[in-house]
Chain A
Amino acid sequence: MLTAQGITVRYGDKTVVDGVSFSLREGEWLMLAGPNGAGKSTLVSALSQGAAYAGKIELDGRDLRAYKPSELARKVGVLSQGHEAGYAFTVEEIVSLGRYAYRGGFLSGRDKDGEKRINQALADTGMDAMRKKSVLTLSGGEMQRAFLAQVFAQSPQILLLDEPANHLDLIYQKHIFSLIRDWLSLPGRAVLSVVHDLSLAKRYGTDAILMSGGKAVAQGGINAVFTPENLDRVYGMDVYGWMRDSLKQWE
């Protein structure tokens, strides 16, 4: 569905993402992993057209830059980590913004499917009861679910997620990740996400790119990428040993 070739992002004379290439196929959940400063989030910004990049990204065989913003929004949805809404919008208003791309830009009110999609998204994320609540009163987990509902209402084919459950309580992490897995189970969909927690990445991902210093150090199926050798090299420590050791605390 999505192919990227030689993606390079520079901030000033610093190269943050350095010639990363990959492809994302239907049904895949591609995990971007790597230590802090590896360029994962920047790569997601480039994919969502939020950062200027060199290289080529194609979506369904067409250059991403050639898409109109509203066309792109109908195919690709983005969920970033942490949101802070400045004004007291209701959950419903936040979610209905997800239908923006279907309302024909400056003219509004021709989105027949909209209401159904919004209600579905609110129900799927368990936010239906809170639809009239102001987002200023939500907890971190509820806020993230509200924005997840927005991106579901957008009904894209590809989800780009940047640490979707960062800083959230375990129960919300689990909730968000299983919601995304359910979403992915329908045909014609794919997910690419930055996930810091390697256990979460291994648990939910089908494929992975291990990044370090802006470069893709290893990529492919998740188990082929998350080998002891690869992880030790990138993180500079015995990752498998640490994980097993941590697990022992609970036995």
Chain B
Amino acid sequence: MKSERFRWYTYGLFSLALFGAMLLCVCAGSVSVPAGDTLSVLWNALCGKPSPDGISGAIILSVRLPRVFCVALIGAALSLCGAAMQGLLRNPLADGSTLGVSSGASLGAVMAIAFGVSIPSLPYAGTMAMAMLFAFLSLMLILFLAYLLDKSLSTSSIILIGVIFSMFASSVISLIIAFAGEKLKSITFWTMGSLSGSNYAYALILALALLICGAVILRCSQELNAFAVGEDNARSVGVPVRRVKLTILIAVSVLIGISVSVGGTIGFVGLVTPHIARMIVGPNHKKLLPASMFSGAVFLLLADLVGRTLVSPIELPIGVVTSLVGSVIFVIVFYKNRRKG
């Protein structure tokens, strides 16, 4: 039988594409830096030497590079979450934004900013913890409400509840903003989904979260395959259904929560990229999950690049770019599915 996993050279190709996209994003911007110069700055920084003369090393090292890391990591994380949820719920339209998890996370983060929730000596931990907590709580609430509506957790009822919940969460956010007073500016800035405040600390946190939660989700590939065929089928082949479901949901909530707390609400990445990946590598999660991570990272890097350069010097919020592209693809996919079913 053919291997269900990717061979090493496939990973090599993925890495090459990712590296290319990252390099492009580091070079391009309001000030363009040639690729050769960029590489020499990076090489010198790795060797601990100062940047070569005449090149603005600061732009690359302290502005663009951390941003590129954050964007790539968030793209990979959101896309992985989307792929995992689409498999788990056996629903090709599931994703953090259509299910209302992202809005829930935003609500948590906004509350943390507005009410000054913080954990002493850890600068971002309060916002992150609240975003993660609310991501998980809203996922549970949405699934519970959808279950009350119909026991089979069908596509339409989950999305319906998700949309209603998203509206509810955004109205609560607006309510908080109305009373926010002097914190208005930081909340509004954050809800736009901006990555301009990226730094290495965020990138490190994202990388750690993706390493841990990603490993958890990737190890559930087989179980996700079973869920994608059907929950009853998963039970009958011996999958510990409840435990696996809870494990994946927690990992997904943590990842979405952290991503949202760093980058704000970035919609449709988790919906669209797993879909494209599935068209290329098929529905088997052993291939689909890694492919989704790489394509999610590349997709978000390109979206961020477009947002930064399209109407430069004005920077479009990245969430706006992904939603514009994503909603169009969403509609196409939805109509295709309807016609099939």
Contact = CB atoms under 8 A, between A and B. Distances in A.
Interface of A: 48-50, 68-74, 77-78, 80, 83-90, 92-94, 96-98, 100-101, 103, 105-106, 108, 115, 118, 147, 150-151, 154
Interface string B224-255: 01101110110111111100000000000000
Contact of A86 (B1, B91, B221, B223): B91
Given A50-B235, A78-B235, 8 more contacts: A73-B237, A87-B278, A93-B284, A96-B1, A100-B226, A101-B238, A108-B221, A118-B1
Contact of B238 (A50, A74, A86): A74
A150 B225 CA distance: 14
A69 B219 contact: no
Interface of B: 1, 4, 87, 90-92, 219-223, 225-226, 228-230, 232-233, 235-241, 278, 282-284
B236 A87 contact: no
Given A83-B233, A103-B222, A92 B240 contact: no
Nearest to A78: B236
Nearest to A160: B236
Nearest to A135: B229
Nearest to A74: B238
A70 B278 CA distance: 28
A97 B237 contact: yes
Given A87-B92, A106-B220, A100 B232 contact: no
24 contacts: A48-B235, A50-B232, A69-B239, A69-B240, A70-B238, A70-B240, A73-B236, A78-B232, A78-B236, A86-B90, A87-B228, A87-B229, A89-B284, A90-B282, A92-B1, A97-B222, A100-B222, A100-B238, A103-B222, A105-B240, A108-B222, A115-B1, A118-B1, A150-B233
A107 B240 CA distance: 14
Most B Cβ at <10 Å: residue of A68, A80, A100 = A100
Given A85-B229, A86-B92, A89-B228, A49 B235 contact: yes
A109 to B, nearest CB: 9
B97 to A, nearest CB: 20
B323 to A, nearest CB: 25
Of listed A69, A83, A89, A154, residue having the most chain B CB within 10 A: A69
Contacts of B232: 50, 78, 80
Given A87-B228, A97-B225, A150 B1 contact: no
Contacts of B233: 83, 97, 147, 150
